Amino acid sequence: MRHAHGRARRVATGLAAVLTWAGLLAGCTSGSGGLDLGGFGKPPAPEDVIRVTPDDGGKGVGQDSRLRVRVPSGRLESVKVVKSQDAQDTPVPGHISEDGLRWEPDEARLALAAKYTVDAVALDGHGRRSARHTTFTTYVPDERFIGYVTPENRSTVGTGMIVSLTFNRDIENRAAVERAVHVTAKPPVEIRPHWFDKGRLDFRPEHYWKPGTQVTVALRLRDVEGAPGVYGLQYRTFSFTVGRSQVSLVDAAKHTMQVRRDGELLATVPITAGAPRTTTYNGKMVVTEMLEVTRMNSRTVGFGGEYDIPDVPHAMRLTDSGTFLHGNYWAPDAPGKVNVSHGCVGLRDVKGGGSDTPAGWFFDRSLIGDVVEVVHSDDKKVAPDNGLGGWNMGWKEWKTGSAVK
């Protein structure tokens, strides 16, 4: 299935012992028939259960706009809001009202040139649990541009992390902007840039990072003219560390996922991948987001009403267009046997998410930046700009994406 915030069409340490879950089965459903939603029938739309302002996907939100999360009935269980500026994630303190119907930040005024992420879980008036994940960005002065940076400062990431800058406006003078961004590594390794259109600049080495590598990103964008009359705002240095190597190989034909840690086979897990009409992309994908629970709705990614699941557990985003590896409690007979999903990779789980299930086990041992590669699926290779898919581009082609000749 595809996540409610997808943007495209159907898209698709003792390590000597090998741990295999035989008979633990999970996955996405290929249709609405037989879908178990906890005995309550079809859930209400997520925006009807959890109402968030500013709107999801909002851009240029004013500094005086009100940030609020509320439910018309039931109660909020948890609300987490994070503010991202210059690759620094900062929790936004706030409180849930005594009646459980609303959450508000302790500081009313929003920050300029920031991205806000809201994750809320609530029970509606019938006791059904629902989750909502929204984002919005705040106003940047017209004569300035900024880059939203991945990964965050001081983070520990997987071996497949790609440094990615997404700009708030089109960059016309790409060479000048590229020269103002310096990415270095210790121990040293060649790192090269690649532009995806005028709004995104990624950096990576030829091969996956070696564990333990320290990567430093210096943004020297302040007063650099990125477009006529539009100048950079940021002058900031940040860094991150590459942790252990974990690369997982999903074989869509065999319905298995081999999890390798530092090259050694750690586990073989039964999975279900995309059904024949809704196949999973082949290729290398990188975990960019990890959500303990989220909602997935087929209508937001180009399907009809095949599914709308309010509380998908252990969800790990692999592409911008909506490919996830996630837990599944509603289709227990698929993984290891048959591919039935709408393009995601499903692992067995329980309602609410279990720590001793294959999905919980994998989630607890994963990092942002880990690699999941899919093979033997009847689909094309994932595009290099779909999430952090740049590893699917050859090194020679990657280097041609630099604006500095």
Q: What is the pLDDT of residues 158-204, one digit of tens each?
A: 999 999 999 999 999 999 999 999 999 999 999 999 999 999 999 99
282 and 148 together in one domain: no
255 and 364 together in one domain: yes
Supply 401's token pair.
């994406």
Which of 243, 264, 290 is the last residue before a domain boundary? 243
Split into its structural domains, the chain has a count of 3
**Residue 395: inside a domain:** no
Reference 120, options 100, 137, 138; nearest CA is: 100
**Residue 182: inside a domain:** yes
Chain centroid to CA 357: 22
Q: How confident is the model at residue 366 (pLDDT cuts 50, 70, 90)?
A: very high
Mind listing the pLDDT tens digit for each residue in 58-117?
Answer: 999 998 899 999 999 999 999 999 999 887 889 999 999 999 999 999 988 898 899 999
Structure confidence at residue 23 (pLDDT):
34
Q: How confident is the model at residue 249 (pLDDT cuts 50, 70, 90)?
A: very high
Residue 344 appears among annotated catalytic residues: yes
**Residue 6: inside a domain:** no
**Candidates 95, 326, 342, 376; catalytic one:** 326
180 is in which domain, residue-wise? 144-243
Mind listing the pLDDT tens digit for each residue in 287-330?
Answer: 999 999 998 875 555 555 566 788 899 999 999 999 999 998 88
CATH of the domain at 68: 2.60.40.3780
250 and 378 together in one domain: yes
224 and 308 together in one domain: no
Reference 125, options 51, 70, 74; nearest CA is: 74
CA distance 172 to 186: 32
Residue 30 pLDDT greater than 50, yes or no: no
**Candidates 3, 28, 194, 344; catalytic one:** 344
CATH of the domain at 219: 2.60.40.3710
Residue 28 appears among annotated catalytic residues: no
**Residue 215: inside a domain:** yes
Task: Specify whether the CB–CB gap between 184 and 192 falls below 8 A.
Answer: no
237 and 276 together in one domain: no
**Residue 396: inside a domain:** no
CATH of the domain at 270: 2.40.440.10
CA distance 155 to 267: 26
**Residue 10: inside a domain:** no
267 and 298 together in one domain: yes
157 and 277 together in one domain: no
CA distance 312 to 319: 17
181 and 238 together in one domain: yes
**Residue 405: inside a domain:** no
Which of 70, 104, 138 is the last residue before a domain boundary? 138
Task: Specify whether the CB–CB gap between 286 and 370 falls below 8 A.
Answer: yes
